[in-house]
């Protein structure tokens, strides 16, 4: 895994570098936003960028925005010093996948990086079974999950490419088709009619989660644990911010969404598509 680390404080940079290297990650360091942007071009591609926010010249937010524009599939984690809500959300709105609040422990940072990296690989989104066994702390959540599993199994069987050999029927679907969308799992791509919708690693994982459970309401808690990881300690707002960003990309009118519905007080649902 190749990491681009932007941090102006030498002591923090050193601390992060040592811990990344210990976990067999390759680190390229930048002290300024300008240097980070340049390195992204000359030394890339990087899997994940870690971006400090408070910097002497251009801020980590600006770097995030530019990296996101140039490298839509790169993973981005903001290292935020402020505890202000707006700060955390602002990075996510600009396209960051996650944020880690300073001071952070090496374990926390590494866990977030690994969780993001899983989102970027073609591995399954996570095991629903393990979440059920883990026992949601809210009564009824497990039941909802089971419903989601049942519904997702139904939509799986409806999504198989009819041209595939029968042996493939037991394997997970490689494509989810909900007109006008086609989600290709091996390619990690989403198309709306003939147009590819460019998604960040986090957006893609979230879209996959909802599309595979077409028609089922998925709770924000469940989305958070499936997409960001079971032990994520962050805010449920990361889910809403990502949904908002996805809607801007896929909906004709994001304020009146016709594909991703809000289930008030609960979560979100990918509207069941018309059956041929
Ligand atoms: Ca700083």
Question: How far, in Å, from the CA of 200 to the mean position of ligand 1?
Answer: 25
Q: How far does residue 85's CA lie from ligand 1's centre (Å)?
A: 18
Distance 163 CA to ligand 1 centre (A): 54
Separation of 12 CA from ligand 1 center, angstroms?
A: 9
Q: Report the predicted TM-score, pTM, of the whole model to 2 decimal places.
A: 0.78
How would residue 171 be classed by pLDDT, with cut points 50, 70 and 90? Answer: low
| Percent of the chain clearing pLDDT 70 (strictly above) | 78
pLDDT at 188 over 70: yes
Q: Contact at 8 Å (CB) between 32 and 26?
A: no
Ligand 1 centroid distance, CA of 77 (Å): 14
Peptide bond into 103 cis (omega under 30): yes
Ligand 1 centre and the CA of 223: distance in Å?
31
Encode 214-242: b = buried (16+ Cβ within 10 Å), e = exposed: bbbbbbbbbbbbbbbbeebebeeebbbbb
Cα of 1 to ligand 1 centre, how many Å? 24
Phi, psi at residue 57, to the nearest 5°? Answer: -105, -105
Of the pLDDT bands very low, low, confident and very high (cuts 50, 70, 90), residue 275 is: low
Model pLDDT, residue 247: 97
Cα 175 to ligand 1 centre (Å):
43
Higher-scoring residue by pLDDT: 274, 205: 205
34 vs 140: which has the higher pLDDT: 34
pLDDT at 276: 53
Q: How far is the CA of 51 from the centre of ligand 1 (A)?
A: 9
Q: Is the pLDDT of residue 163 over 80?
A: no
pLDDT at residue 52 greater than cutoff 90: yes
Beta-strand relationship, 217-219 and 267-270: antiparallel
pLDDT of 39: 98
Domains of the chain: 2-121 (3.40.50.2300), 158-270 (1.10.10.10)
Most confident region among 127-131, 166-170, 184-188 by mean pLDDT: 184-188
């Amino acid at each position: 895994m190749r990491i681009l680390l932007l941090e102006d404080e030498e002591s923090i940079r050193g601390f992060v570098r040592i811990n990344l290297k210990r976990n067999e990650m390759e680190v390229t360091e930048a002290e300024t936003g300008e240097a980070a942007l340049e390195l992204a071009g000359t030394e890339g591609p990087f899997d994940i960028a870690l971006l400090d926010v408070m910097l002497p010249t251009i801020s980590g937010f600006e770097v995030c925005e530019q990296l996101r524009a140039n490298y839509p599939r790169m993973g981005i984690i903001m290292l935020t010093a402020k505890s202000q809500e707006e700060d955390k959300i602002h990075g996510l709105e600009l396209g960051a996948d996650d944020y880690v609040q300073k001071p952070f422990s090496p374990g926390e940072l590494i866990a977030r990086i690994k969780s993001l990296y899983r989102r970027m690989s073609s591995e399954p989104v996570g095991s629903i079974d393990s979440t059920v066994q883990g026992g949601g702390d809210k009564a009824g959540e497990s039941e909802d999950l089971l419903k989601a599993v049942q519904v997702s199994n139904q939509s799986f069987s409806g999504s198989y490419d009819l041209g595939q050999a029968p042996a493939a029927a037991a394997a997970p679907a490689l494509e989810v088709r909900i007109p006008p969308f086609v989600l290709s799992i091996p390619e990690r791509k989403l198309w709306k009619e003939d147009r590819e919708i460019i998604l960040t690693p986090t957006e893609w994982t979230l879209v996959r989660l909802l599309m595979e459970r077409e028609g089922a309401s998925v709770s924000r808690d469940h989305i958070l644990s499936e997409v960001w990881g079971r032990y994520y300690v962050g805010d449920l707002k990361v889910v809403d911010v990502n949904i908002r960003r996805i809607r801007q990309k896929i909906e004709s009118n994001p304020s009146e969404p016709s594909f991703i519905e809000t289930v008030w007080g609960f979560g979100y649902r990918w509207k069941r598509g018309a059956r041929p």
